Structure 1
């Protein structure tokens, strides 16, 4: 028996050694592109940012002038909270890049890291330079006959201004994009979303979504956005009809291209339509593809809650909240993630935490009508009825009628 055990142990050691040797050979044979792809995959998954950084370091070892690898390294460091090192990585990326559009994107990331370090003056200076780059791009295309690229340049500036929470100026940029090219659905959708969600100018938002749908009646983004605005303004029957159209649009896209991963979007649409079992199935499919997807997990929690499966819902919510600070960090200037977090805390009965999240969202965007309403619900649950009524009144003043 002892002899058999020793033979088995030796075989296990030999097998393990072979596995290690094979792994080393594979690693040695990996190219610059292989390591970069590995880094991007790791960066896309929550909690594997240290591994992602090491993969990008391998790229840099092979080619120290690979700007994309330095960018990936900066993103990995930022998500681990190593903002000083992230700034240095982004600076190296900027040294290696000359493309204006790419440069502006890297500078935005650098500005966010500086804000996280509370170096607000430096961040403001970087943001100013980013807008100057956008203006330079617009000027370059204004002096040419290429109207398509001029329109894209205005869209580019609008997106930059959104990141800096300068919503009114962003609308002006999107206006110019639609004037140069009134047939581009993306421009109208960008304008509509900003008007509706960020500025509570609901009628203008609906007009912009309708313009997008005149161009492409089956555009899923425009249909989903229009339904959301109709919901916010209390036009629930119309919203349901548009949600149905949006669902058909997404199903057609998935039928034509099975590789399209829109499980979360489909789940959200089915949830809005009250088809909870189907929405749960869609969210489960999304979680299978990405077990760390916060949006799929939180959507799953909402579906389970609607089905009365409260304990399962609580688990899904808590799983969705893991590493949520990373989601907030990557969208530093956006209220959306804070609203989601507030909604989850409210569903979990953590009303004080919900209030903190809603207040963070309102600090970023005081005109976010729905958040005032949700804040009122949290205050009501805490027995603070007078404050709750003030919050409900504010929501109504801003046009919320959900």
Structure 2
């Protein structure tokens, strides 16, 4: 059974989904006043500067008011179309709304603008930071790291750049095919987060990032000591991240849940079944916190991972009900995520011995995402269990062609 592979993969999707925090030039209370004034007075709204509209867009994004945020960013762009941050904010909103084709185009536009700016001023630390954020969003992690390093060469005292460098290293590790390189990337990410924490020990997001990297590092060799260090980091993050920052709080709670779930796996491998189940039960509570805080984004992934832990606890019908409910409520643009949900459903049915049902689920997943090597591999396992050996061998061969490795 490859449910553990699935759980690790969805954890990686969470990392990919995390948007880097984009800086504004106004602090919290001022942003709130700007947004309130703009909402309450049309006449005043017309007098807003591009920066005001940008700050309002950020505030609306934080409140998950995506349509309004998009209009705010468009207003900022109309007043100042040369500021890459405004285009990046628009791209972030499009991503949250599921407009995947659109957000990539918007990010590329922002990247063109910041490249022009850096040609004119190559010692602009903030410009290199923005370029790093954009390359991060475009999944070009080597370029993002180079940009963050250029920014830090100019100004090594910027905690946010250290934080985003850690994020880029942690996410890039997912794509490393060799364990030594992956482990080194996680270790380097932890170093970057520690640099941010030296500058600000109460930086909640840096504690969260460190928690994820420690958890990922621990998962590479079932290191219970590292897992417990990651839990301490997540607990610290949950205490320090402001209550109104529901997106990052949700992400911290989900990280805590994934760590507890992986601890359960490690304990089970060590024959400590009761402790393993207790850890998974605690994980369910943390997933619920993530779901409550951010039901439309991080909460979707938390629901998927929660369903997996319910299955590990033998609560199969609850797991299937949760997966079916998740599929029904997913936005139409979340097709690839729907394929992952169907893959997990197939895994759960396989655990129950319903191999025919599992094959149907895997086939549905592959209809949506033909490149899903995990669904193809598990389809082979289900076929093998039914004695359909030639079909199983064909599925295993296709999974290997897609990149699956034991």
1:104 corresponds in structure 2 to: 88
Question: Does residue 253 of the first structure (1) align with residue 237 of the second (2)?
Answer: yes
**Alpha-carbon offset, residue 33 of structure 1:** 6.7
Which runs of structure 2 are paired with 1:18-57 in the superposition (5 Å)?
none
1:297-347 per-position Cα deviation (integer Å, ceiling 9, x unaligned): 323322221211222222222333343226728xxxxx6x35642443323
SS in structure 1 at match of 2:314: coil
Which runs of structure 2 are paired with 1:129-144 in the superposition (5 Å)?
129-142=109-122, 144=123
Answer yes or no: is the 8 Å Cα contact 1:192–1:208 preserved in 2. Answer: yes
* Higher gyration radius (CA): 1
Question: Does residue 297 of the first structure (1) align with residue 297 of the second (2)?
Answer: no
Unpaired runs of at least 5, structure 1: 1-31, 38-55, 80-85, 330-334, 364-370
Q: State the TM-score, normalized to the length of structure 2.
A: 0.59
1:28 corresponds in structure 2 to: none
Unpaired runs of at least 5, structure 2: 1-30, 198-206, 244-248, 265-278, 350-356
In structure 2, the CA distance between the partners of 1:361 and 1:136, relative to structure 1 (3 Å rule), is: farther
Distance 1:210 1:95 in 2: 43
Which runs of structure 2 are paired with 1:98-247 in the superposition (5 Å)?
98=81, 99-107=83-91, 128-142=108-122, 144=123, 146-147=124-125, 149-162=126-139, 167=140, 170-181=141-152, 185-198=162-175, 200=177, 202-216=179-193, 219-225=207-213, 227-228=215-216, 231=219, 235-238=220-223, 240-247=224-231
Corresponding residue pairs, total: 313
SS in structure 1 at match of 2:144: helix
Question: Does residue 263 of the first structure (1) align with residue 286 of the second (2)?
Answer: no
Match of 1:276 among 280, 291, 295: 280
Q: What is the root-mean-square deviation in Å for CA atoms of aligned residues?
A: 4.5
Distance 1:191 1:290 in 2: 23
**Alpha-carbon offset, residue 152 of structure 1:** 1.0
Answer yes or no: is the 8 Å Cα contact 1:263–1:285 preserved in 2. Answer: yes
